[in-house]
Amino acid sequence: MLTSPAASSLSYADLYARWESSPWSATAIDLSVDARQWRDELSETQRRAVLWNYGLFFHGEHVVAATLSPFIDAAPLDEQKYFLATQQSDEARHAVFFTRFMTEVVGLGDSATAARAATDAHLTWGFRRTFGRLERLSRELQLDPSPQRFAAGLMLYHLVIEATLAQPGQHLFEEHLERDGILPGLLEGMRNISRDEQRHIGFGVKALADLVEDPSCRDAAVEMLREAMPWTIALYIPPDWDESLVESMGFTLEETFEKSIESLDSKLRAAGLPHEELNGAWPQDPALSHSERARHVGAMLRAHLVGDGSRPAIHDPTAVGYLFEAIGLSIDHRQAPPRRVTLAWDFTDHEPWHLVVEDGRAEAARGMPASPDLTLACHFQDWVDVATRRRDPRRAMLARRLRPRGDLRLLLSLPRLFGT
């Protein structure tokens, strides 16, 4: 695992040399045993789980391969461009391998286009939003190949998508395939892909560490992290919350979250972005263990307090507490008022909550305080939609779904305070 000193000492030439010394062929891996096991040995539940989980990887590899060219153009150093060219080759190789698995083993047509069309319905809301943002960012980089935009791209591509979403899932899937003794060709390919991804992540950490010495690049990277968080935590939510699609692979959703949180924490530190300098973009309490933080995320997702908003929020007291804890942790301390202020939520269909902001810190608690500086009156669901950025707060106020009273100057400062 990279640490900050390793990130600074690792050279782009080292990373390129590792690529040259780690060749493998996506077309040479034998998938005949996989095809037989898929047909004769795997249960229907196993096939559904494999198809859903690896379908996400399949589509993800296609998107990252198709969006990397502008990163090469935007990279400020020639050595970075050389490495990114190898990464694009790797991503194409990964897409070719998953195409082979989907066509030769699963039997989804005879081309990548056909296989992607057959698995498109499996993509989650979090996947579509995260990778849709990567596609837009790639186009933005074509128009604005600035260091700031490149830093934002490294955060989204290398630290969020590769280090937080792909790598932890790859390791869990490899353990499952090896433990159950199934799909040996897929296991071989996944091991090769994991080695490639480790190299890519090492580059992203190194390049981002170099860039964030510039405060404007640091701000751009942090704001991209803030933007992506609401989508990425919901990426692995299975269709209709059918957790057998996860548990039949030998692990739980919370274990996935735990591995993702641990990975992102370590890569952010290695890139020179410790938690205290993220300005609320990673709204978790670093004093808690990774497993405890994963449990908080799982509780909020199961109560539908975060995610796609397709199901009404559940008024689970524990999960609501975690939500307001996250709201408090999301404040940008640089924008905090110079005095102690109290924000209150007066829900029409739920107990009230309030947030005390003082000295750049916030503490959430149940109940209505005696003299809040600003009160937001609303239905609980409307606030959940605003808090998770599914509803624009300005439009919510115009529609009278969010009714403020009290210090309106404080109201005007809330977008800056919460980075919205």
Q: What is the CATH number of the domain that holds 397?
A: 3.30.1050.10
376 φ, ψ (degrees, to nearest 5): -110, 115
Give the pLDDT of residue 42: 95
- Cβ(176)–Cβ(251) below 8 Å: yes
Task: Check whether residue 250 and residue 331 sit in a common domain.
Answer: no
Domain count, the chain: 2
Give the pLDDT of residue 417: 85
Task: Check whether residue 93 and residue 217 sit in a common domain.
Answer: yes
Q: Which residues of 313-330 are buried (b: 16+ CB within 10 A; e: fewer)?
A: beebeebbbbbbbbbbbb
Give the pLDDT of residue 8: 54
In a domain, 310, yes or no: no
Give the Cα separation of 241 and 245 in Å (integer). 9
Task: Check whether residue 340 and residue 244 sit in a common domain.
Answer: no
Which of 245, 269, 288 is a domain's end point?
288
Q: Domain containing 181: what range?
A: 4-288
Task: Check whether residue 409 and residue 322 sit in a common domain.
Answer: yes
Q: What is the residue whose two structure tokens read 């891996």?
A: 29
Give the pLDDT of residue 7: 55
Whole-prediction pTM: 0.93
Query: Which portions of the chain are predicted below pLDDT 50?
Result: 1-6
